[in-house]
């Protein structure tokens, strides 16, 4: 009986849903519950854009990675990160000395496995990372970015896997970032590689967006896969990944040996993850990302970028409709604009040499498509707006494109006097660590444990500076305030005090009964809601619930201050539902 193990992609669950990831204190809370579930041999803890995101909301990513990996390290659960090869853990290429330092830092922080991919499937961008990762003591998992086209055949991927294994890869991952890999083809890839290399560990990562990934999981399982990446509620399915419960049930029925799930722990983990959504992360999750879409089969865009795509569409939607209205043309709904964008991606992708639609190249192709759509709606030609990063992809500066460029694109490059590059992309980016070491010394900045602060500065220069100055935190607070106002302005809900969201230690006061919320009475016998910041003593009455059989007082469980009112005056509340958030205050020591 073949055993298949599960890996929880907790980082990717968030980044496939929206823009931000949980804070360090939240990750510390959730880790023991994930462990208690008892069904995960691996957990994805960091990498990709998550550490840049930490900086964006004013948090030190190094402290966050160490805090999140430690419980799993102690429990014997392997941790893994996502690594963009030439781009490290950012969107643009990284000097070789910074890339090499990354593996030393991440190993010291408790990360066991690095999943190395190149968005173009160019092995020359992956092989150096394999060597650096292994030298640092990490497991080097080399990655095949799965997509579907006339050139992305099973043979294409089998040959790529052979090159990576020959270069020293410990494991092979099939990264089906858009979930459009065809099940039969994926099974053929796994079976061929496992037959030739039975000792090579193989892992499948498939997003659920277009609905093929469950069938793909079954096929790769039958072909010999060792690990499957899974998600869990409330962030499974949609543009994310299949839920571990469904995957386990499917594989059990097919005769595979799979781990049991502690369902009590699953429900606790599910509840806490939902509390993170309710806290602030939900304001950056587009509702459409909660749903699957067969439209992705045609355009091939990955679930992981749907958050940024929807943000882009919202950013241009009003401007496009303003132009159409002034031109006496029919305005477009967001859905109509989305379909136009998908169709344009499908049209231009072959012309751009079939770059696998994964970060950052999915963004470049999407950006070109979006600019083309905007131009054509204004009766202008395609290709009038291609940014510098997209041109670097086209010209070969980021690596070799899998397919041939359309002659139209080649002529456009010649007209602009651009030169095509055929060398090693890494040669375009000279070492930079000495520069950052000198600057940190001048600024009297600590290089950090195991040089982790030096690494962070060199990897995310601008974001790290903003983090150090406090500008990142101020900008995030403003962004969160605007996101809350935008979300709640669409409802009749009163916009709460924004400062309530800045209290990570606040806890909910819940109702013990169902009924109507009545806050305190003023001298005119009118019930009024408390002002955020009101001090409460332990056992003070917070509010009264009017039930069918009488009134029930709800008391405070601590000395503290109310930092957010969740239920308005007169609003119905169910038993167990949150009424407000209270932040505990330590008693003053007068000794």
CATH number of residue 517's parent domain: 2.40.50.100
Average pLDDT over residues 146-168: 96
Polymer length in residues for the chain:
591
Residues 316 and 417 in one domain: yes
pLDDT in tens, 23-35: 999 999 999 999 9
Among the listed residues 174, 184, 47, 181, the one whose alpha carbon sits nearest the alpha carbon of residue 110: 47
Our count of domains for the chain comes to 2
Average pLDDT over residues 454-467: 97
Cis peptide before 216 (omega within 30 of 0): no
Is 129 domain-assigned? no
Judged by DSSP in three states, 562 sits in: strand
Chain centre to alpha carbon of residue 288: 15
Is 549 domain-assigned? yes
Is 356 domain-assigned? yes
User: Which of 365, 400, 425 is a domain's end point?
Assistant: 425
Residues 300 and 405 in one domain: yes
User: Which of 375, 406, 425 is a domain's end point?
Assistant: 425
Is 305 domain-assigned? yes
Judged by DSSP in three states, 65 sits in: helix
Average pLDDT over residues 462-471: 95
List helix spans (H) across 167-212.
Answer: 183-196
Q: Percentage of residues in the chain with pLDDT exceeding 70?
A: 92
List helix spans (H) across 167-259.
Answer: 183-196, 213-223, 244-253
Is 148 domain-assigned? no
Cis peptide before 252 (omega within 30 of 0): no
Phi-psi region of 533 (alpha: psi -120 to 50; beta: other; left: phi over 0): left
Strand-pair category, 550-555 with 541-547: antiparallel
> Which residue do the tokens 């849903």 mark?
17
pLDDT in tens, 178-212: 999 999 999 999 999 999 999 999 999 999 999 99
pLDDT in tens, 283-298: 888 787 888 888 788 7
Is 81 domain-assigned? no
Average pLDDT over residues 398-410: 95
Judged by DSSP in three states, 91 sits in: coil
Domain hosting 534: range is 502-584
Phi-psi region of 588 (alpha: psi -120 to 50; beta: other; left: phi over 0): beta
Q: Is the pLDDT of residue 233 over 80?
A: yes
pLDDT in tens, 301-349: 775 565 566 666 776 787 888 888 888 888 888 888 888 888 998 999 9
At residue 337, the pLDDT reads 84
13 C-beta neighbours (distance < 10 Å), count:
21
Residues 418 and 534 in one domain: no
* DSSP 8-class letter at 284: G
Residues 420 and 506 in one domain: no
C-alpha 564/C-alpha 541 separation (Å) is 16
pTM: 0.79
C-beta of residue 40 within 8 angstroms of C-beta of residue 69? no
At residue 522, the pLDDT reads 45
List helix spans (H) across 300-385.
Answer: 306-326, 334-348, 361-377
What are φ and ψ of residue 476, in 5° steps?
A: -65, -45
Is 153 domain-assigned? no
User: Which of 425, 453, 483 is a domain's end point?
Assistant: 425
C-alpha 482/C-alpha 480 separation (Å) is 5
| Sheet with 550-555, edge to edge strand ranges | 550-555, 541-547, 515-518, 572-573
Q: Percentage of residues in the chain with pLDDT exceeding 90?
A: 63
Is 345 domain-assigned? yes
Residues 299 and 418 in one domain: yes
Average pLDDT over residues 60-78: 98
> Which residue do the tokens 């009024």 mark?
528
C-beta of residue 30 within 8 angstroms of C-beta of residue 439? no
Judged by DSSP in three states, 361 sits in: helix
Average pLDDT over residues 250-255: 98
Among the listed residues 37, 36, 28, the one whose alpha carbon sits nearest the alpha carbon of residue 59: 28
At residue 25, the pLDDT reads 93
Residues 527 and 410 in one domain: no
C-beta of residue 138 within 8 angstroms of C-beta of residue 114? yes
Q: Give the Cα-Cα-Cα angle 365, 368, 371 (nearest 5 degrees).
A: 150
Average pLDDT over residues 462-474: 94
């Amino acid at each position: 009986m073949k055993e298949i193990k599960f890996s929880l992609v907790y980082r990717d669950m968030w980044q496939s849903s929206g823009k931000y990831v949980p804070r360090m204190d939240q990750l510390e809370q959730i880790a023991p519950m994930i462990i208690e579930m008892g069904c995960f041999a691996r957990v994805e803890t960091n990498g990709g854009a998550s550490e840049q995101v930490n900086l964006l909301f004013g948090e030190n990513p190094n402290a966050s990675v160490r805090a999140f990996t430690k419980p799993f390290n102690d429990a014997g659960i392997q941790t893994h990160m996502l690594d963009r090869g030439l781009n490290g853990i950012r969107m643009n290429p990284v000097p070789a000395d910074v890339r090499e330092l990354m593996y030393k830092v991440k190993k010291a922080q408790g990360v066991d496995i690095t999943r190395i991919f190149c968005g173009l499937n160019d092995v020359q961008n992956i092989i150096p990372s394999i060597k650096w990762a292994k030298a640092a003591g990490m497991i080097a998992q080399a990655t095949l970015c799965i997509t579907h086209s006339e050139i992305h055949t099973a043979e294409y991927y089998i040959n790529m896997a052979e090159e990576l294994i020959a270069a020293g890869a410990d494991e092979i991952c099939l990264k089906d970032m858009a979930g459009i890999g065809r099940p039969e083809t994926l099974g053929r890839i796994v079976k061929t590689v496992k037959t030739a290399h039975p000792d090579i560990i193989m892992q499948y990562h498939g997003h659920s967006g277009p609905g093929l990934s469950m069938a793909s999981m079954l096929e790769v399982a039958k072909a010999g896969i060792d690990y499957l990446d899974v998600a869990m509620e409330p962030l499974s399915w949609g543009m994310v990944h299949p839920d571990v419960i469904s995957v386990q049930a499917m594989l059990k029925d097919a005769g595979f040996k799979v781990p049991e799930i502690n369902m009590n722990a699953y429900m606790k983990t599910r509840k806490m993850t939902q509390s993170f959504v309710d806290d602030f992360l939900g304001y950056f999750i587009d509702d459409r990302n909660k749903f699957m879409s067969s439209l992705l089969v045609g355009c091939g865009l990955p679930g992981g970028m749907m958050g940024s795509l929807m943000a882009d569409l919202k950013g241009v939607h009003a401007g496009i409709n303003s132009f159409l209205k002034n031109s006496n043309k029919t305005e477009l709904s967001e859905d109509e604009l989305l379909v136009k964008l998908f169709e344009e991606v499908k049209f231009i992708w072959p012309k751009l040499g079939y770059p696998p639609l994964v970060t950052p190249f999915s963004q470049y192709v999407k950006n070109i498509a979006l600019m083309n759509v905007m131009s054509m709606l204004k009766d202008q030609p395609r290709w009038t707006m291609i940014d510098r990063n997209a041109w670097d992809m086209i010209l070969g500066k980021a690596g070799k494109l899998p397919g041939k460029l359309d002659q139209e694109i080649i002529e456009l490059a010649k007209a602009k006097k651009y030169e095509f590059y055929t060398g090693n992309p890494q040669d375009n980016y000279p070492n930079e660590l000495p520069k950052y070491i000198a600057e940190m010394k001048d600024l009297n900045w600590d290089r950090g444990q195991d040089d982790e602060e030096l690494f962070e500065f060199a990897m995310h220069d601008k974001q790290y500076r903003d983090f150090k100055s406090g500008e990142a935190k101020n900008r995030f607070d403003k962004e969160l305030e605007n996101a809350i106002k935008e979300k709640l302005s669409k409802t009749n809900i009163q916009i709460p005090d924004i400062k309530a969201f800045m209290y990570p230690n606040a806890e909910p006061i819940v109702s013990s009964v169902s009924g109507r919320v009545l806050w305190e009475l003023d001298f005119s016998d009118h019930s009024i809601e408390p002002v955020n910041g009101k001090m409460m003593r332990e056992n003070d009455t917070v509010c009264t619930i009017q039930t069918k059989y009488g009134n029930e007082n709800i008391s405070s469980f601590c000395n503290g201050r109310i930092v957010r009112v969740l239920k308005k005056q007169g609003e119905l509340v169910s038993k167990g539902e949150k009424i407000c958030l209270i932040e505990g205050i330590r008693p003053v020591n007068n000794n």
